């Protein structure tokens, strides 16, 4: 866990180390049967809830945007950008983030992980800044990396563009090529929602 910092302390620490945040909302939500990003969660759409977590993590560090259909998400209080590589899965979303970003470091998070905590996301950014890795991805209790909760440096572009050309769309299989470092996250923090049954379980959890 990263200790809490005052706003001034964070600005000083990261004054020359700026990152952008992106929340991916372009999935088709087949198993859910409706747009997961717009599911109501704690009084607002799920994607807005996750975007607020990313914004808290990057407070004083950099901007946050949603990647998805602008007409669908434009009223949520965040910049919204269309996927530049549609029908390419999460790889297209990560590539879009890197292409749009003005910063070297880019925190990319899927919209369907409501249990994330700002301090854990800040850990990824801090690791990327201090270690200089091309990619730092979260790792859950199973030991599996989560490529949709990760920081990607612009130096990842060549590998990801080559994967796109080769139609290798599975992000998890690309992490070794990116020499990704892994950061352990608390149990359940990376849990995502894919089905109506999972959503009912999440809705019943205390706030």
Q: In the predicted model, is pLDDT for residue 54 greater than 80?
A: yes
Q: Which alpha helices (DSSP H) does 101-187 contain, by range?
A: 118-131, 157-165, 171-174
Split at pLDDT 50, 70, 90, the class of 6 is very low
**What's the whole-number mean pLDDT along residues 108-135?**
95
> What is the per-residue pLDDT across 18-44, written as a single tens digit (0 to 9) for each?
899 999 997 665 656 568 899 888 889
- Cα separation, 51 vs 23, in Å, equals 6
Given this model, what pLDDT does residue 174 score? 98
Q: Which residues pair with 146 in a beta bridge?
A: 138
Average pLDDT, rounded, for the chain: 88
Domains and CATH numbers, the chain: 18-203 (3.90.550.10)
- Cα separation, 66 vs 39, in Å, equals 15
Q: In the predicted model, is pLDDT for residue 148 greater than 70?
A: yes
């Amino acid at each position: 866990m990263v200790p809490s910092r005052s706003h001034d302390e964070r600005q000083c620490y990261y004054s020359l180390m700026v990152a952008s945040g992106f929340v991916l909302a372009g999935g088709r939500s087949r198993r859910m049967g409706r747009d997961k990003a717009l599911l109501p969660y704690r009084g607002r759409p799920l994607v807005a809830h996750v975007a607020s977590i990313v914004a808290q993590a990057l407070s004083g560090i950099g901007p946050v945007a949603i990647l998805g259909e602008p007409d669908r998400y434009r009223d949520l209080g965040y910049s919204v950008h269309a996927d530049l590589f549609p029908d390419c899965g999460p790889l297209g979303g990560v590539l879009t983030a890197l292409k749009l970003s003005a910063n070297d470091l880019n925190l990319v998070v899927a919209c369907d992980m409501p249990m994330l905590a700002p301090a854990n996301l800040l850990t990824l950014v801090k690791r990327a800044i201090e270690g200089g890795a091309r990619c730092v991805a979260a790792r859950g209790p199973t030991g599996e990396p989560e490529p949709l909760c990760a920081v990607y440096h612009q130096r990842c572009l060549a590998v990801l563009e080559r994967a796109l050309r080769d139609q290798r769309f599975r992000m998890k299989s690309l992490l070794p090529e990116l020499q990704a470092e892994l950061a352990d996250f608390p149990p359940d923090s990376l849990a995502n929602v894919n089905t109506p049954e999972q959503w009912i379980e999440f809705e019943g959890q205390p706030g």
